[in-house]
Chains A and B, each alone.
Chain A
């Protein structure tokens, strides 16, 4: 017999029971006897929600039951399983309602809760809507042993999941001494499977109260519970047909069922999951319903606060020195498959801090493995770069550098307070789970201090770093599908919008295309939004209709159009936090670039601050442009005006920063060697005359280029 038939048989069973109970109640109380559930304004809310019927007497309940039966169709189609399943839930409500037709308090004097009042729905609904309660579980029937039942309930409690119990598992909980009741978030609903009627009633009332769903709109109710109610079912073996039918209803409402019953059971991906090991029920369930548990506290023996970010640990105060320049040390984030990551597992491979000489060197690698349905390997470096601020916030820890050039110092005070290697793992686990909740489902940290293993691991890490760098280098504006905007600075520069592309990072230097992408995925309503590039206007200047529309929208109409690669035609605006300013130097037909740190004068006759006043504030000033340092070596830099060959002057310090990459670009674009040496700096020229002399002497390519104007 197939799964469908089990559902149909179970729903027929539930219906037969409902009919028998209702007939008995009517013969006892009469058709016109009032039918009212206590403390609710929503009648029999499953029936009210799905059928739109307000039942107030037993006679009306009989009419409703007839309509419920008409929903229990038995064609071999998924749709019939769903309507029969929801019909089963409504029939369950009928059975329970007949008890309330006789007395408003049928469960008084028992361990069972029964019907939920509207006040309880609201009380539970608010934290469910805000996700303070991440979801709820309905546990049906006894677990194989009392211990397993208790462990499961306590496991859910520890994760803040609300627990409803039905049937024999309630006795197990009582024997296990679990305190139960609405306030402690473990509710024994009723002894029989039809007690699910109360839970579905609660779900449908939540949809009416919080979602303003119209009674009778069947699909809107299933839609609401699917998207907004994070519930799931754990049903223990042996699962009866009637429970399978209720499961069909649960799945129709978007609630996956997890069971350890293998007999006569068919797994349905994401909906009906067979998990033989009950100790894995929690993890399997949470993943199936896509529930993420918020991590808020960090389990370390010292304080964690941004106040400690700038803390310096001197040599004499230091317990150990972890230095990537001298030993094999590194940090790496890897995205892995789900089976390779166990959430919150922290492994220490090798001796702990106390085994290393006091005040001496220590080798250490931190490998963070993450799994997430929405995780992308492009996020790895974004997380990794945050290690610095995460670890620096720990009292008594100093962290600098990244990748395999990290340097970490642990202070004597932190060590004495009990700080050990595994605590690096605790900090990173908590921060990554809380800050990147949107994409990280599971996170595991491995700390390696075993010198023998580190050499090889470091080599492996370097392969990973190289791969990433290759990807970054191979990424061009042409090879990506979309750009991003960034309006992080609009609080003080209201009309400025950055368009961030792989070859043109944000002008502050802090937001690369990958950062913008990650920001967008992690915070979909945040400052970085997708900008399409489907409708190019002019490839030479980098003008796109889509980009112009985005700029108009995000500048709230202040800007009409920008180009990505030109300094003369609609140049991109600047907020004020640019790392560098590029300005036209008319005498040479070239441009001067000056970085923020340079205080001296430029051949334009202006200092950085004087140029900044013309460039910032979201205003387009053709001939001036703010940008990030990394943009200088881009092939898209001033592409419309002939590219980097226009650069005639830069401060020496800036030249040194960009030298290698700029030389490489010049070689690739023009076949010129050592291009940076042809660029003047403050030591050879601070005015136009000396500049021209220098350029002529070096044979700078700009002299052969077309005039800019």
Chain B
């Protein structure tokens, strides 16, 4: 019997979320089929890759990353170099140095620093927080003000601070925000409902559903992403139709496989190659499960994942 293809495209679709301005602006989401199901219907906006740097510099404890940024000394230079990485669609800045336990840089100084980065690059910006909920609310407000008109995405608004982040970043200054939850479809949906009840348009919201490095409970991530995408498309649940953005690098560069030295584990081979493999495999898995954007660090990972996306589209 001949194979007859029945396209599985849905009447619902993922919201299209644009970040950045001008020629280099990017759009996440917008598709009405499952991830990479281009045989069902064309996917207009391919998944995007962000390159992550810290406000303390590049993550140079990995030799390959250090080599890539060699010669870039100031943060704006590092940012510019990151923005030129082949395959990079946007720049993600982690505000590590603003965390109270890690230097506690002031809100004003951090905003000025981020502004200097923004002035140095032309690709869209994603501002990751300091991982301190209270500080983030204050940081995002000031940075949103400093970067007015730049259309940046703030990661993330969480259950504890979504009110401040929504009001300050999305409402007062018209920026985009990411709603962060911990690998749970109901919590994700609840947060989206709460944020939209604040008066933030659903089109201004992305979701960071959380992640895990491959092998570290990734099954939960995969099934959560899967369920979110199928609720969004098959059930037309508009509180789950936000595009998904997943910070991968912060998960993978801390696990044992990426950091233990070759001296300690001679059978495992060079540490850097392992880290890159972790980053690539986790990113690929996230994309296959439904991420519309992933955030990575290593130039080799960025090159490989960008080729993967190009080949699958």
Contact = CB atoms under 8 A, between A and B. Distances in A.
A525 B223 contact: no
Contact of A209 (B141, B164, B172, B223): B172
B172 A126 contact: yes
A641 B230 CA distance: 37
B269 interface: no
B172 A125 contact: yes
Given A209-B172, A211-B199, A490-B184, A556 B231 contact: yes
Contact of A491 (B145, B164, B171, B186): B186
Contacts of B193: 525
Nearest to A228: B199
B172 A130 contact: no
B260 interface: no
B135 to A, nearest CB: 15
B186 A129 contact: no
Contacts of A125: 167, 172
A130 B167 CA distance: 7
B163 A131 contact: yes
Nearest to B192: A525
B186 A487 contact: yes
B56 interface: no
Nearest to A556: B231
Contacts of A212: 199, 201
A526 B189 CA distance: 10
Interface string B196-231: 011101000000000000000000000100010011
A569 to B, nearest CB: 25
Contacts of A228: 199
A490 B184 CA distance: 8
A126 B171 CA distance: 9
A494 B189 CA distance: 14
Interface string A473-510: 00000000000000100110010000000000000000
Contact of B190 (A129, A211, A525): A525
B168 interface: yes
Interface in A556-576: 556-557
Contacts of B184: 490-491
A71 to B, nearest CB: 27
B167 A556 contact: no
Contacts of A494: 185, 223, 227
Contacts, number: 60
B198 A129 contact: yes
B172 A210 contact: yes
B194 A210 contact: no
A210 B171 contact: yes
Nearest to A209: B172
Nearest to B189: A525
Contacts of B166: 129-130
B266 to A, nearest CB: 39
Contacts of B227: 494, 556
B132 interface: no
Nearest to B194: A525
B219 to A, nearest CB: 12
Q: Contact size class for A?
A: 20 to 34
A129 B230 contact: no
Contacts of A468: none
A154 interface: no
Contacts of B164: 126, 130, 132
Interface string B148-168: 000000000000000110111
Nearest to B169: A126
B133 interface: no
Interface string A207-244: 00111100000000000000010000000000000000
B163 A130 contact: yes
Interface residues of B, number: 27
A525 B198 CA distance: 13
A212 to B, nearest CB: 8
Which of A131, A490, A525 has most B Cβ within 10 Å? A525
Which of A125, A211, A491, A553 has most B Cβ within 10 Å? A491
Nearest to B240: A556
B278 to A, nearest CB: 26
A494 B235 CA distance: 16
Contacts of A132: 163-164
B10 to A, nearest CB: 13
A212 B190 CA distance: 23
A557 B230 contact: yes
A679 B96 CA distance: 65
A557 B234 contact: yes
Nearest to B191: A525
Contacts of B190: 525-526
A556 B185 contact: yes
Contacts of A210: 167, 171-172, 199
B167 A126 contact: yes
Nearest to B187: A491
B265 to A, nearest CB: 33
A209 B190 CA distance: 25
A126 B168 contact: yes
Contacts of A211: 171, 199
Contacts of A336: none
Which of A130, A209, A526 has most B Cβ within 10 Å? A130
B174 to A, nearest CB: 9
A122 interface: yes
A122 B172 contact: yes
B186 A490 contact: yes
Interface in A493-543: 494, 525-527
A210 B227 CA distance: 33
B240 to A, nearest CB: 9
A130 B160 CA distance: 11
B163 A129 contact: yes
Contact of A556 (B171, B173, B199, B235): B235
Interface in A94-151: 122, 125-126, 129-132
Contacts of B198: 129
Contacts of B171: 129, 209-211
Contacts of A129: 163, 166-167, 171, 198-199
Contacts of A525: 190, 193-194, 197
A553 B236 CA distance: 11
Contacts of B201: 212
A386 to B, nearest CB: 21
13 contacts: A125-B172, A126-B164, A130-B163, A132-B163, A210-B171, A210-B199, A212-B199, A491-B184, A494-B223, A494-B227, A527-B186, A556-B235, A557-B231
Given A126-B164, A129-B166, A556-B227, 12 more contacts: A122-B172, A125-B172, A210-B171, A211-B199, A487-B186, A490-B186, A491-B184, A525-B190, A525-B193, A556-B230, A557-B231, A557-B234
Interface of A: 122, 125-126, 129-132, 209-212, 228, 487, 490-491, 494, 525-527, 553, 556-557
Across the A-B interface, the 6 shortest Cβ-Cβ residue pairs: A130-B163, A129-B167, A210-B171, A126-B167, A122-B172, A556-B231
